[in-house]
Structure 1
Amino acid sequence: MRANDPAPRRVLGIDPGSRVTGFGVVDTDTRRLAYVASGVIRVEGRSFPERLRAIFEQLGEVVESYGPAECAIEQVFVRHNPDSALKLGQARGAAICACVGRGLPLAEYTASMVKQAITGNGAAGKEQVQYMVRTLLGLKGRLREDASDALGVALCHIHRDRLAGRLTGGGWE
């Protein structure tokens, strides 16, 4: 890093799920991206209220451990099953509360926005997104799908923020 570069920002990306919630942490400055961590929070085999509490508590531990400056989360889209959509929305709410309750700003992105930002194609497949996440972050091997999706959300936020800074003539260049 050069002397006049701003301090790196740390972004937490979240791919919410009622059974598995992915998280990804990325550092960025004006020129580089750096992988920090990723993983999943598994809450299968518990009652639904216990799963929500576990998502809230474990994601809170991720925030405390990695100290992100901001968070980004994927918006919910479920086409066929209203019950699944409701549960996913509640899990997403638990994740949002874990971040916002700790004073972190939060941005929200649709799956197609994430895919567009990462691959240039809003209809890209999971494999394409995972490949680009690994490429952009210089990672080898496979990533868990939920962790890869969460890293994609973080990268989408970073790319959109950089673009906004360029368009307004301020912020990140």
Structure 2
Amino acid sequence: MLVLGVDPGLTRCGLGVVDGGPGQQTSLVEVGVLRTPAADDVAARLWALERGVGEWLDRHHPDAVAVERVFSQANVRTVMGTAQAGAVAIVSAARRGLPVALYTPSEVKASVSGSGRADKTQVTFMVSRLLGLSDPPRPADAADALALALCHLSRGPALARMRAARQAAAAAGRSLR
């Protein structure tokens, strides 16, 4: 399964593609960061991100996209920019008919490191180790994007089965909690 991980941000948007699945070696396909100048108009920045994410989606044709779920921060401007960048990635994937999964930072940290309280250094170390990289991905946004993709590889299949069970139950007129 090919997964694109997106660590959204207006100034730096991390992107990482990994390939793997149950019983398979997980490997790095590509990692990078889209950057937009802080001095530019927000509409121009979002459009640049949409073009960049679209290029990655068209180049790699992932099976799924994993995006970091925005969480409350003290700086409202940062939250808004992160949410807007995340929405651009979600819409770009949806336009191509790709499934999108949202994960909180603590879910991602727990998935790759075993602790939802891991710091950036620990996450980067574990991403490097899980992907067999000799050099850690830089900057942290790139490592976080790879961590999102790895999280989806480990959690995505179970979430898909739960979603299918809920849909089947709803079609049969039952409710699953």
TM-score for both structures, normalised by structure 1: 0.86
SS at match of 1:41: strand
- 1:111: which partner in 2? 105
Equivalence map 1:43-122=2 (5 Å): 43-44=36-37, 45-122=39-116
Whole-angstrom distance in 1 between the partners of 2:81 and 2:135: 32
Q: Percent identity?
A: 40
- 2:9 corresponds to 1:11: no
SS at match of 2:49: helix
The number of equivalent residue pairs is: 159
Whole-angstrom distance in 1 between the partners of 2:159 and 2:88: 29
SS at match of 1:21: strand
Whole-angstrom distance in 1 between the partners of 2:45 and 2:159: 36
- 1:40: which partner in 2? 33
**Deviation string for 1:60-83 (max 9, x for gaps)?**
000001110110000112421222
CA shift for structure 1 position 165: 8.3
Contact 2:21 2:153 in 1 (8 A): no
Deviates more, 1:86-95 or 1:10-19: 86-95
Give unpaired runs (5+ residues) of structure 2: 163-177
Q: Which amino acid is the alignment partner of residue 104 of structure 2?
A: T
TM-score for both structures, normalised by structure 2: 0.85
Give unpaired runs (5+ residues) of structure 1: 1-8, 168-173
